[in-house]
Amino acid sequence: MLQRLQHLLGIEDLTREQISFILDQAKPFQEFHRHPLKKLATLRGKTVALAFFENSTRTRISFATAAARLGADTMNLQAESSSLKKGESLLDTIWTLEAMRPDGIVIRHSSSGAPEFVAQRLGIPVVNAGDGTHEHPTQALLDALTIRDRKGKLESLRVTILGDILHSRVARSNIHLLGKFGARITLYGPAMWVPPELESLAPNVRRVSRIEHALDGADVIIVLRVQTERLHEPALAAEEYILQYQLTSERLRLAGPDALVLHPGPMNRGLEIDPNVADGPQSCVLEQVTNGLAIRMALLYHLVGGAASEAAPAPATTGKE
């Protein structure tokens, strides 16, 4: 029996079946985006609060668009808004939002664990849109959807993650998700950002010390953004990073022509990724964005729509519910 989700706080606690269920639910929404009229009435009358305590453009727009296309209204709280600047506590802020009776809340926050903190204190579904350096579950789900579409399966892939893994919530969620499907995961990046404890996150995670070893035979390569703004560590010179860690066309050849290249965006073109790779045939970057919408629609439908474990609505019959 599939355990119905109350919240989406992270990938770590999901089962393989729950993940597959979400990916399956996203399928019809992928088709839906090709329709000329992109609006359902499924969540008409529902309100989704978008509480972005940390700045975000891409993820916020993706969730807002997903909610709009399902017919839901949104309430927006943004990091630069005045109450946060005035030092209102997280608890006061979410109670204020709750008092306006939203049916679900999407949270991005710079503190790891903030969505769980909120979920324990509110009676509505909480979706984690990225918390600190903990998890970014919708990113891992949209990556999984992208990989499954291209590779025809998620099981037993050789996945390589490149870059600043220590500070990456995307990497953690991907390691948990792909690990549950039996992936062999290879990590490579500056040693200070790839500590040995990362290997304990999932079975079959290993670190390597040369980029050649990281790329050889990889089915999927996930390139992480260098989050220069997040780091307190002594910064590595950009030239050093490019020399040692950039995914170049030449290095990509080690992985073979069928290897997929994913990047959560926004990209630092020319820093962690060679523009030729970013725009090349192996890159899935724009598909990831489109799939992000489908995943977020499926989740909002499932969590906010309160549709238990019924199948997703057939999007072609717009406005049926």
Partner 1 sequence: MLLIKNGHVLDPSSNTDEPLDILLDGSRVSKVGANLSAANVEVFDAAGMIVAPGFIDLHCHLREPGQELSETIETGTRAAARGGFTAVCAMPNTQPVNDSASVTRGIVERAAAVGIVRVWPIGAASVGSKGEALAEIAAMKGAGIVAVSDDGKPVATARLMRQVMDYCRELDLSVIDHCEDSSLFAGGVMREGPRSIRLGLKGIPAQSESICVGRDVEVAMLTGARLHIAHMSTRASLEYVRGAKKQGLLVTCEVTPHHFTLIDEDVRYDSHYKMNPPLASREDRAALIEGLADGTVDAIATDHAPHHPSSKDVEFDRAPFGITGFETALALGLGELVHPGKISLKRLVELFTTGPARVLGIERKIAADEPADLTIFSPDHAWTFRAADSPSKSRNTPFDGRSFRGAPMATIVAGRIVFRR
Q: 50-83 as b/e, with b when 16 or more CB fall inside 10 Å?
A: bbbbbebeebbebbbbbbbbbbbebeebebeeee
* Residues that contact partner 1, how many (by CB under 8 A): 25
58 is catalytic: yes
Token pair belonging to 67: 């909610």
* Nearer of residues 118 and 215 to partner 1, judged by Cβ: 118
Q: Tell me which of 4, 58, 206, 320 is the catalytic residue.
A: 58
Residues 6+ apart with CB under 8 A from 273: 223, 246, 247, 261, 263, 267
Catalytic pick from 34, 85, 86, 232? Answer: 86
- Reply yes or no on whether 57 is catalytic: no
CA pair distance 262, 260, nearest whole angstrom: 6
Q: Report yes or no: 214 and 188 within 8 Å, Cβ to Cβ.
A: yes
Q: In what order do the strands lie in the sheet with 73-78?
A: 73-78, 47-52, 104-109, 126-131
Residue nearer to partner 1 on the CB measure, 9 or 23: 9
Q: Per CB under 8 A, which region of 24-32, 166-174, 283-291, 305-313 contacts partner 1?
A: 166-174
- In total, the chain counts a number of residues equal to 321
Residue numbers 258-317 binding partner 1 by CB under 8 A: none
- Tell me if 86 contacts partner 1 by CB under 8 A: no
When asked if residue 89 is in the footprint of partner 1 (CB under 8 A), the reply is: yes
Active site residue 302: no
Handedness of CA 261, 264, 265, 268 (dihedral sign): negative
Give the separation between CA 188 and CA 155, rounded to whole angstroms: 22
The helix/strand/coil state of 261 is strand
Decide: is 147 part of the binding site for partner 1 (CB under 8 A).
no
Active-site residue identified among 109, 136, 184, 296: 136
Name which position in 7, 108, 148, 169 contacts partner 1 (CB under 8 A).
Answer: 169
Our finding on whether 191 is near partner 1 (CB under 8 A) is: no
Looking at beta carbons only, is 23 or 127 nearer to partner 1? 127
Separation CA 127–CA 6 (nearest Å): 9
The pattern of x and - marking residues 90 through 119 that bind partner 1 according to CB under 8 A reads: xx-----------------x-xxxx-xx--
253 is catalytic: no
Report the nearest approach of partner 1 to the CB of residue 117 (Å): 6
Q: Among residues 109 and 184, whose Cβ is nearest to partner 1?
A: 109
59 is catalytic: yes
Q: Which stretch binds partner 1 (CB under 8 A): 83-91, 146-154, 251-259, 295-303?
A: 83-91
Contact with partner 1 (CB under 8 A): which of 61, 201, 208, 307?
A: 201
The backbone torsions φ and ψ at residue 182, rounded to the nearest 5 degrees and listed phi first, read: 80, 20
Q: Kindly give, in sequence order, each residue whose CB lies less than 8 Å from that of residue 305, ignoring residues fewer than 6 positions away.
A: 42, 43, 46, 70
Instruction: Count Cβ atoms below 10 Å from residue 173 Cβ, excluding itself.
Output: 26
Catalytic residues: 58-59, 86, 108, 136
The site for partner 1 (CB under 8 A) is made up of 12, 89-91, 109, 111-114, 116-117, 131-135, 166, 169, 172, 195, 197-198, 200-201, 232
